[in-house]
C-alpha cells in the first residue's frame, strides 16, 4: 500500500470542487433561488448572499471535493481503483456532508422538507459526479526511479 499522492488529491479535489460549485450554483442559485429566498425571509435573514458568504460557500465546495478525492484515495486499497470506488467515495461524502449535515435544519423546521429533500438528492448526483471526475485525475504516487531500479534489479 503506497502513500497518498497529495498533489493528485488536491488537483482532483479542485476539479471535483468546480463540479460541486457549479451544481450548487445552478440548483440553489438559479432553479430554487426563489424558494431559498422565501426560506431565508422566514428566518429573518437576508435573501441575498454577501461576497464573503459566496466565497465561503465556494470554499465549502472545494473542500468537499478535496474530501471526496482523499476518501477515494484512502479506500482504494480496500475497494480497488476505478469508478465503483469513486461512486462509493462520492456517496459516502454525500451521506456525511449533505445527508447528515442537512438533517438538523429539516428536523428543526428551519428548512421545508420538500425543498431540502429535492436539493439533497440533487446533491447526491453532484457528489457522485464530482467523485468520478476527481478519481479520474487521481493516481498513486510513483516510486522514485532509483527504488524502481533496485526492485527490478533484485528480481
> Within a 13 Å sphere around the CA of 102, how many CA atoms are in the beta-carbon half?
20
Whether the Cβ atoms of residue 76 and residue 12 lie closer than 8 Å to each other: no
Residue 44 has pLDDT above 50, yes or no: yes
Summarize the confidence of residues 132-149 as an average pLDDT.
74
Smallest Cα–Cα separation from 81: which of 8, 143, 20, 150?
A: 8
CA angle 142, 148, 150 (to 5 degrees): 155
Sorting pLDDT into bands at 50, 70 and 90, what band is 151? low
Summarize the confidence of residues 24-51 as an average pLDDT.
93
Pull the grid cell for residue 140: 498513486
What's this model's pTM, rounded to 2 decimal places?
0.86
Residue 29 has pLDDT above 90, yes or no: yes
% of the chain at pLDDT higher than 70: 90
> Within a 13 Å sphere around the CA of 95, how many CA atoms are in the beta-carbon half?
7
pLDDT at res. 146: 43
pLDDT tens for each residue of 47-103? 888 999 999 999 999 999 999 999 999 999 999 999 999 999 999 999 999 999 999
Neighbouring residues of 1: CB distance < 8 A, sequence distance ≥ 6: 77
Residue appearing with cell numbers 480497488: 80
Residue 144 has pLDDT above 60, yes or no: no
Residue 5 has pLDDT above 80, yes or no: yes
Pull the grid cell for residue 42: 422566514
Amino acid at each position: 500500500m503506497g502513500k497518498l499522492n497529495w498533489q493528485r488529491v488536491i488537483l482532483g479535489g479542485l476539479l471535483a470542487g468546480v463540479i460541486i460549485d457549479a451544481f450548487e450554483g445552478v440548483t440553489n442559485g438559479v432553479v430554487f433561488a426563489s424558494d431559498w429566498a422565501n426560506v431565508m425571509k422566514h428566518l429573518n435573514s437576508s435573501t441575498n448572499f454577501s461576497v464573503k458568504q459566496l466565497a465561503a460557500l465556494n470554499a465549502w465546495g472545494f473542500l468537499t471535493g478535496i474530501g471526496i478525492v482523499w476518501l477515494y484515495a484512502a479506500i482504494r486499497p480496500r475497494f480497488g481503483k476505478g469508478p465503483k470506488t469513486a461512486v462509493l467515495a462520492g456517496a459516502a461524502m454525500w451521506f456525511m456532508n449533505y445527508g447528515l449535515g442537512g438533517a438538523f435544519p429539516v428536523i428543526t423546521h428551519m428548512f421545508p422538507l420538500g425543498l431540502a429533500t429535492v436539493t439533497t438528492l440533487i446533491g447526491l448526483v453532484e457528489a457522485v459526479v464530482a467523485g468520478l471526475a476527481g478519481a479520474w485525475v487521481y493516481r498513486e504516487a510513483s516510486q522514485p526511479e532509483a527504488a524502481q531500479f533496485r526492485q527490478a534489479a533484485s528480481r
